[in-house]
Structure 1
Amino acid sequence: MERPVYPFAAIVGQDQMRLGLILAVICPELSGILIRGEKGTAKSTAVRGLAALLPERDEVVGNPYHLSPDEFAVYADGLGLDTAAPPSVERRRVQIVDLPVGATEDRVTGSLDVQAALTQGSRRFEPGLLAAAHRGILYVDEVNLLDNHVVDLLLDSAAMGVSTVEREGLSVTHPARFSLVGTMNPEEGELRPQLLDRFGLCVTVSAETDTASRIEVIRRRLAYEDDPVAFAASWQAAGDELAARIDRAMRLLPGVRADDDALGRVAATCIEAGVDGHRADIMMVRAARALAAWDGRTRVSDTDLDRAGRLVLPHRMRRLPLEGIAQT
């Protein structure tokens, strides 16, 4: 039997990180979340636990781009996929794609299939990690150690939802809509401000400082290691409740609205915070809409805006005039 992942619902504390991850999967248009913190603070555990809660989706069988039936109808010819027969469809769980620190541009975006070129004389595209991550989670540990150009490629795709690759006379465009999760330890180096700004959300995590919470962390982790199956089963009900709530929020999100008063407050807050450009404003509205959907509402409230500001603004602020926003 496959070893179950540590349940997302069983993580002790780290409320802001867990909320940020949930919002990133409810609304991939947030362009991802950056989790900053020391090692051993459940960053990767949370990502893998959350993926296990996400709803299954329809996927056309046998395509390396993880296309839905509707996407297959649009992209199949351009990607050279077989359209002779009606495509078979299966239900698939959301995948996590790990991007290694040493990944090259070709590994990320895709490249010319050299073997096909040499043996068949044909030019064929070999899809990369962006295609593999479509409709899933792209997880980048130690994102601050990646080549800046590679980080740019990831953030471009996360923002646009598509990847266009040009190689040796080939031009290929495929969907690349994923939830980007980057983690980093600030002690190992920072991201350039231009890259930091492009992550929609950012949270800082640290070890629990309350004795009772630390004891509970130990107790749960040892119980999981002693019997992963039994431990996962004991948290199944809580996980199912979270999964249902995430699914409802995803369905509700398109109908959530922010009125002009809410937009005015966002603009005023971003001006006072001294952020550059307009990306913060847009991300703050998106985060507030996702928060409203998470709470089962179709209208953004002032509370949603306050909570969104704490996730969207601190890593973009050149000065800290708003004590309430900077606090997490």
Structure 2
Amino acid sequence: MSPTALAARRVVFPFTAIVGQEEMKLALLLNVIDPKIGGVMIMGDRGTGKSTTIRALADLLPEIKVVADDPFNSHPGDPDLMSDAVRQQLEQQAEIRVTKKKVSMVDLPLGATEDRVCGTIDIEKALSEGVKAFEPGLLAKANRGILYVDEVNLLDDHLVDVLLDSAASGWNTVEREGISIRHPARFVLVGSGNPEEGELRPQLLDRFGMHAEIRTVKEPALRVQIVEQRAEFDQYPQQFLEKYQPQQQALQQQIVSAQELLPSVAMDYDLRVKISEVCSELDVDGLRGDIVTNRAAKALAAFESHTEVTVDDIRRVMTLCLRHRLRKDPLESIDSGYKVEKTFNRVFGIETNSIEASEKTAQANGIGQTSGRFR
């Protein structure tokens, strides 16, 4: 991208410049590669860059093709991602104008009402003029984008249910006085919060595909690096963006390639059985844990540019996919990952020492401590 184009854009901190928080970054990237994973719940200390990272991811993503002047960001070629009006136009073989736009990133305010989220039907207009007068809500705007809810643990449970239902089905239906309207609402749902302010109920937490924990960086040298980067970005934003542009473009291309490769990624039957064995031993309710782990492992394989899922792919995503499904009592705290790792090692026959050794090697190479993995 040229310096002129960069200057015209809204300034957002580059994703590849974010130091640390590898767990959160990986979970977000995998959900972008395969939105059917079911979203991410990010819990951690305040001031750890949750909002910055999510906005940076939305800014990183390539532009998408949409039907011009359509309030739902309808896909011009995929019926599952287009509104009923666009589908009717296609059936009538009407000409559809196509344009490109940035992936939308919608912030859901804590005080939002259900009408603001789902949209409203103008009954008077519907009765007097005989048309379905629909005022789209935030779910319409979020279609094919990212819906971000900060402090999701403080949001009304009913609204969280609405969001999760739409994210799972890919559709939002509004019904009032016998009039029903639906539109596509397929988005990556990202929730964040501070566990000190309370956890979500286990039933709601289980509906999130992945759960990332983030902690304040303790190493003084890394803290200094983060502070200096932020100061440089605030003082010279355009120069900072230009410096990271090659890494941004490389990661963007990696995401696009992964999305294209994903349908051809395969997983050995024995590995699928072992994933289910781990879920069974951990007493995970339902089958969401099995499904999400399978999807996330395939997305990671695609991200790493290979078409066969490996044991290491499963190991790297399993804690993210299962840790929040182990809590049976709302008063319990969420497992840090120890139980999942221990069960994974036993089922897959992996020596704990070899895992620790590989982690130490990765840390020595800067993986897991800096943003080297995505640069």
TM-score by length of 1: 0.93
Instruction: Structure 2: state its 5+ residue gaps.
Output: 1-7, 328-334, 345-355, 357-367, 369-375
Runs of 4+ deviating beyond 3 Å: 71-85, 114-123, 318-328
- 1:77–1:2 Cα change, 3 Å: closer
Equivalent residue for 1:159?
A: 168
Equivalent residue for 2:62?
A: 55
**Distance apart, 1:71 and its partner CA:** 4.4
**Distance apart, 1:116 and its partner CA:** 3.7
Q: 2:14 touches 2:244 (CA, 8 Å); kept in 1? A: yes
Q: Percent identity?
A: 47
**Distance apart, 1:198 and its partner CA:** 0.6
Equivalent residue for 1:267?
A: 276
Q: What do the CA deviations read for 1:297-326 (whole angstroms, capped 9, x no partner)?
A: 111111111112121111111486444479
Partners of 1:145 and 1:289 in 2: how far apart? 33
Q: What do the CA deviations read for 1:281-312 (whole angstroms, capped 9, x no partner)?
A: 11110110111011011111111111121211
Q: 1:253 touches 1:289 (CA, 8 Å); kept in 2? A: yes
**Distance apart, 1:250 and its partner CA:** 0.8
- 1:289–1:45 Cα change, 3 Å: same
Q: What do the CA deviations read for 1:79-105 (whole angstroms, capped 9, x no partner)?
A: 888979412110111010111111122
Query: What SS does the corresponding residue of 1:191 show, helix, strand or coil?
Result: coil
Quick check: 217-226 or 54-63, which moved more?
Answer: 54-63
Identify which of 202, 219, 226 aligns with 2:211: 202
Equivalent residue for 1:284?
A: 293
Equivalent residue for 1:317?
A: 326
**Distance apart, 1:117 and its partner CA:** 5.0
- 1:94–1:46 Cα change, 3 Å: same
Equivalent residue for 1:250?
A: 259
Partners of 1:7 and 1:263 in 2: how far apart? 36
TM-score by length of 2: 0.82
Partners of 2:112 and 2:139 in 1: how far apart? 12
Partners of 2:25 and 2:118 in 1: how far apart? 29
Q: What do the CA deviations read for 1:262-287 (whole angstroms, capped 9, x no partner)?
A: 11011111011221111101111011
Identify which of 43, 46, 68 aligns with 1:39: 46
Instruction: Structure 1: state its 5+ residue gaps.
Output: none
- 1:70–1:267 Cα change, 3 Å: same
- 1:162–1:220 Cα change, 3 Å: same
Query: What SS does the corresponding residue of 2:77 show, helix, strand or coil?
Result: helix
Identify which of 58, 66, 69 aligns with 2:73: 66
1:15 aligns with 2:22: yes
Equivalent residue for 1:112?
A: 121
Equivalent residue for 1:221?
A: 230
Partners of 2:15 and 2:211 in 1: how far apart? 19
Q: What do the CA deviations read for 1:46-96 (whole angstroms, capped 9, x no partner)?
A: 111111121211111111111011247964448888979412110111010
Identify which of 14, 29, 36 aligns with 1:29: 36
Equivalent residue for 2:350?
A: none
Partners of 1:118 and 1:220 in 2: how far apart? 58
**Distance apart, 1:121 and its partner CA:** 6.6
Partners of 2:217 and 2:342 in 1: how far apart? 22
Partners of 2:127 and 2:236 in 1: how far apart? 51
Equivalent residue for 2:309?
A: 300
2:276 maps to a residue whose letter is A
Q: What do the CA deviations read for 1:212-248 (whole angstroms, capped 9, x no partner)?
A: 1000001100000101111111111111111110111
- 1:59–1:321 Cα change, 3 Å: closer
Partners of 1:2 and 1:249 in 2: how far apart? 26
Count of paired positions: 328
Partners of 1:106 and 1:80 in 2: how far apart? 26
Query: What SS does the corresponding residue of 1:52 show, helix, strand or coil?
Result: helix
